[in-house]
Homo-oligomer: A and B are copies of this chain.
Amino acid sequence: MDARTSNATEIDSRPTNNLLRRLSQADFALLAPHVMVENATANELLYNPGDDVQVVHFPCGPALATFVVPNEDGRDVETILVGREGAVGGIVSEGYLPAYTRICVKFGGPFARIHVSKLEAAKQRSPSLRHVFARYADCMLAQIFQSTACNAIHSIEQRTAKWMLAAMERTGDASSVPLTHEQLATLLGVGRSYASRVLQSFKAEGVLDTRRGSILVRNREGLRLRACMCNEAVKMHFEEVLRGVYPTEEGEPQLGMRSKR
């Protein structure tokens, strides 16, 4: 509604990644020449364990990436989801180290990419830019900590509901998650038949519906009732540390990070 500011076009042309959109114009200008947006499709691997981390990927729009911890016996575990609120690759390590986890595109979409060396050079020049990334790294850490606790004490039912909500918040899609029962089970690190049963019980309660290869959410509030509060805890930390970056149902963070005018 105040899209008539002189630089609205320039701002709106930024990739739809909340982290990038939160940057001041000056900071974004440092990165802009090196940012490239490309599409990635579901299941594409951004990094494998041991890969040299050289590129930071910012999921845009409905794109979603996950960190997958491989396991000797093949039972890989998905840990955290990263959508347009964040970025993956060298966020904590500042790059040039072997990746520990696999990073996998969960839902396809555009990804903004920048070489770590360019990002680090920009951080060198702008403390405020460094600061935003340090803050995001802290939020990502919080997310993983919460995941660890969640896996330790919450039921599969709770975690299923939590995962669905987290995915929907990030993609912005109102209703459907393209996932087979098998995939959902793997992602939670549980058996397929039990995952099916949980979905079945949700279905019986009218919370969601199942299609071949996708899950439809019928009653988001019901889902929230059945989920643990882990999402909320993490969201609060995001709000405290990086106000407006975490996607919510009320809408995206507005541009113009300085709240004046």
- List A residues at the B interface (Cβ < 8 Å): 67, 69, 71-72, 75, 77, 79-80, 92-94, 97-98, 100-101, 134-135, 137-138, 141-142, 144-149, 151-153, 188-189, 229, 237, 240-241
Contacts and interface: CB of A to CB of B under 8 A. Distances in A.
A77 B153 contact: yes
Contacts of A149: 69, 71, 77, 79, 189
Scoring A67, A138, A146, A152 by chain B CB atoms within 10 A of each residue's CB, the highest score goes to: A152
A143 B97 CA distance: 15
Given A149-B79, A153-B75, A141 B144 contact: yes
A69 B241 contact: no
A134 B94 CA distance: 7
5 contacts: A69-B145, A92-B92, A92-B134, A93-B135, A94-B134
Contacts of A145: 67, 69, 79, 100-101, 144
Given A72-B229, A98-B241, A237-B100, A189 B141 contact: no
Given A97-B135, A148-B151, A151-B151, 20 more contacts: A71-B153, A72-B229, A77-B148, A77-B149, A79-B145, A79-B149, A92-B137, A93-B134, A97-B138, A97-B241, A98-B240, A100-B138, A100-B141, A100-B142, A100-B145, A101-B142, A137-B137, A147-B148, A152-B188, A153-B189
A72 B80 CA distance: 21
B144 A148 contact: yes
Number of copies of this chain that the complex holds: 2
A53 to B, nearest CB: 9
Nearest to A146: B69
Scoring A69, A79, A94 by chain B CB atoms within 10 A of each residue's CB, the highest score goes to: A69
Ranked 5 nearest A-B pairs via Cβ: A93-B138, A152-B189, A69-B149, A151-B151, A77-B149
A205 to B, nearest CB: 23
A144 B101 CA distance: 11
A28 B10 CA distance: 46
A9 to B, nearest CB: 34
Contacts of A138: 92-93, 97, 100
A148 B92 contact: no
Nearest to A90: B138
